[in-house]
Each structure stands twice: as structure tokens, then as C-alpha cells.
């Protein structure tokens, strides 16, 4: 990731994005798409020459063992994306569920070291009951039960779509250390593209 170009997420932020402008200054790199016939302008198609290529390859090798969370390729999903993120001190991510047009998501921690006092834990809610999947609905609520996943280097976390989760802010104790991750989604092709294929 050291050779790649990053921009502040707020520079590419859109009003319907679940990231809030008050959640620090995360940086984002170029998204790589695998198996998508119409990659959006400015993004990359696999193989891209970016570090995301290795993550895409590893996920494809493990897709059968991940099927319990993401479903099977060709029925639950057709393509995947992979995007590098850097989270400096004070950066986090609001509660959201990645449910829109996705079967699941993943995060792979690629930093070399992370201390438990540095924060940035992934929080995953359980037992949301009948509450609807809505970004606004998750803001400021008590999610009742859940678990946290520490940002241990080389840890892969796969999350089924519709599961509320958030990222706690990186603590000031982290200093200049960055929470570095590769994040992406498993998605079905839109009906028009699926029919054209």
C-alpha cells in the first residue's frame, strides 16, 4: 500500500454515504473490481497492479469457506470490490449495515502492528430484532448485544449483509500509527448487466 495514492474520504464523500464528516479524516485509495463488466470511471479492474490484487486472489481462493456469510458466487454474488483505507487518530465509522445490493462485506487488517490501547475496534451488533436496516436508525441507539473485533494484523473479518457494525475511533494513543485495511463487498450484478452477460 505504500506506493499507492490516497485521498481524504471527505473529498469523495456523497450525501447518502454512511460516513459522517465528524468522524475524523480517513483516507481512501483506488477501488479494484473483480469480475465486473462495467467498472466505474476512475476505478480499476482486476488485475490492477495495486496491492488489492493479492487480497482479491486470497478471497477467491477462500470463497467456498466464506459461503456461510456471503453465499455462493453466481447466485448470491457475481463480483467483488477491494478498497484500501487508512484511519489516522480520531477516525472511525458510524453504525451501518452494508445491506444495499450486497451479500456481504469484508475487512482485512494490513498494518504491521496494532496495540489494544489504540482503539479502532470493529463493533458488530447482535439481536437487532425487528429494527429496520437504516443508517439513521442506528445513530445513537443502544444495540443491546454484540462483540468487538480488535484490529489484529492480518485478521480477516467477513460480515453478512444486514449486520449492523461500526468502527470505533482510533485513539490518540496510536500517535502516528494508522489503522490500515482493505475493505470490500460481494455484490450481484444489476439485472440489466446480468441479462446482457
Give residue-wise pLDDT tens across range 132-168.
Answer: 444 445 555 555 678 899 999 999 999 999 888 889 9
Distance CA 72, CA 120 (A): 30
Which are the contacts of 121, defined by CB distance < 8 A and separation ≥ 6? 148, 149, 150, 151, 167, 168
Q: What is the per-residue pLDDT for 128?
A: 57
* pLDDT-derived band at 19, boundaries 50, 70, 90: low
Residue 190 is predicted with a pLDDT of: 85
- Would you call the peptide bond into 141 cis, given omega within 30 degrees of 0 as the criterion? no
Q: Give the mean pLDDT of 43-51.
A: 95
What is the rounded average pLDDT of the residues 34-42? 92
Are the C-beta atoms of 124 and 167 separated by less than 8 Å?
A: no
Bridge partners, 34 (sequence order):
80
Q: How far is 75 from 66, CA to CA, in rounded Å?
A: 14
Q: Is the dihedral of CA 23, 29, 149, 165 positive or negative?
A: positive
CA-CA distance, 73 to 51, in Å (whole number)? Answer: 23
Report the CATH superfamily, name and number, of domain 7-196. Answer: Jelly Rolls (2.60.120.10)
Q: What is the mean pLDDT of residues 99-123?
A: 95
pLDDT over 60 at 14, yes or no: no
pLDDT of residue 97: 82
Q: Model's pTM, two decimal places?
A: 0.87
Q: How far is CA 44 from CA 36, 142, 183, 186, in A?
A: 10, 39, 15, 16
CA 184 to CA 4: how far, in whole Å?
17
Higher pLDDT, 7 or 197: 7
Which of 1-5, 11-15, 46-50 is the most confident on average?
A: 46-50
Look at residue 61 in the predicted model and tell me its pLDDT. Answer: 97
pLDDT digits (tens, 9 = 90+) for 114-134: 999 999 999 988 755 555 444
Question: Using alpha carbons only, what angle is made at residue 153 by residues 84 and 58, rounded to the nearest 5 degrees?
Answer: 60
For 80-90, the pLDDT digits (tens) are: 999 999 999 99
Tell me the C-alpha distance between 21 and 23, whole Å: 6
Amino acid at each position: 500500500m505504500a506506493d499507492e495514492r490516497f485521498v481524504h474520504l471527505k473529498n469523495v464523500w456523497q450525501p447518502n454515504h454512511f460516513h459522517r464528516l465528524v468522524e475524523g479524516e480517513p483516507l481512501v485509495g483506488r477501488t479494484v473490481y473483480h469480475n465486473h463488466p462495467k467498472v466505474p470511471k476512475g476505478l480499476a479492474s482486476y488485475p490492477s497492479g495495486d496491492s488489492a490484487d493479492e487480497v482479491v486472489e486470497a478471497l477467491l481462493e477462500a470463497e467456498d469457506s466464506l459461503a456461510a456469510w456471503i453465499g455462493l458466487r453466481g447466485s448470491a454474488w457475481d463480483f467483488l470490490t477491494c478498497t484500501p483505507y487508512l484511519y489516522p487518530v480520531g477516525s472511525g465509522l458510524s453504525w451501518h449495515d452494508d445491506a444495499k445490493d450486497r451479500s456481504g462485506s469484508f475487512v482485512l487488517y494490513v498494518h504491521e502492528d496494532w496495540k489494544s490501547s489504540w482503539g479502532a475496534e470493529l463493533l458488530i451488533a447482535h439481536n437487532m430484532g425487528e429494527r429496520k436496516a437504516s443508517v439513521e436508525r442506528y445513530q445513537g441507539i443502544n444495540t443491546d448485544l454484540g462483540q468487538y473485533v480488535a484490529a489484529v494484523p492480518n485478521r480477516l473479518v467477513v460480515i453478512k449483509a444486514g449486520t449492523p457494525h461500526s468502527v470505533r475511533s482510533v485513539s490518540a494513543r496510536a500517535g502516528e500509527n494508522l489503522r490500515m485495511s482493505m475493505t470490500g463487498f460481494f455484490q450481484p450484478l444489476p439485472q440489466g448487466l446480468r441479462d446482457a452477460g
